[in-house]
Amino acid sequence: MTTSTRSSVEQKQNPGQLNSVQLNIVTLVNMERATATGSLSDAMYMMDNSIGGEGQGTRQLETVCKQGQVLNWIIRPIDMEKRLDGTWPPMPKIASIVLLDTEKGDEEDVSERKIFTELKIYGMPDRMRSPYTPVYYYWAGTVLSTAKPGVYKYRLIVELEQDGKKEKLYLNTIDHPSIRVIAV
């Protein structure tokens, strides 16, 4: 193998993974802590399968994606095992994903711009749970091919079931995860 061939092979080892059609952004929620405190702080952990992102295992995850790529936000509780009494633990669900307008300097303002098309919520009903089939909810979207390269912060609005209650608890992420869009 010549030096120039070896060099080009070394350069192509990781970038090929960025050509993945879909990226998964997985959020684990400590349901007991979140419902007890009424907050996702110290109760939510995010990770993804992107290359070059930062903040794996934190609430400030930065996912690196490219224009036109499908993103799957998957959410599930940390505790997924059937209980001794035969019931299942409560489930989290992504109610919405809100893009924030960081260009104005206020990270709490909702952006009017759109960077991905929303394919919306998907998931299996809890009644179908089995020890052999994972159950979780997810929200999918495709990054627009016209999305300007840059970092976009967003807020997850999470719906939590509560043990013994019919009411759902809705919580927002305080520490904002982000998407870093790169040009194709």
Question: What are 63-100's pLDDT values in tens digits?
Answer: 999 999 999 999 999 987 777 887 778 889 998 888 88
CATH 2.60.40.1120 fits 20-182, yes or no: no
Domain-wise residue ranges, the chain: 20-182
**181 in Cβ contact with 152 (< 8 Å):** yes
Q: Which residues contact 144 (CB under 8 A, 6 or more apart)?
A: 67, 68, 114, 115, 116, 117
The confidence score (pLDDT) of residue 153 equals 92
Neighbours of 80 (CB within 10 A): 15
Mean predicted confidence (pLDDT) in 25-47: 93
The confidence score (pLDDT) of residue 123 equals 52
As given in the structure block, the two tokens for residue 77 are: 């509780």
Choice between 147 and 7, residue whose per-residue pLDDT is larger: 147
The confidence score (pLDDT) of residue 130 equals 61
Q: What's at 53, amino acid-wise?
A: G
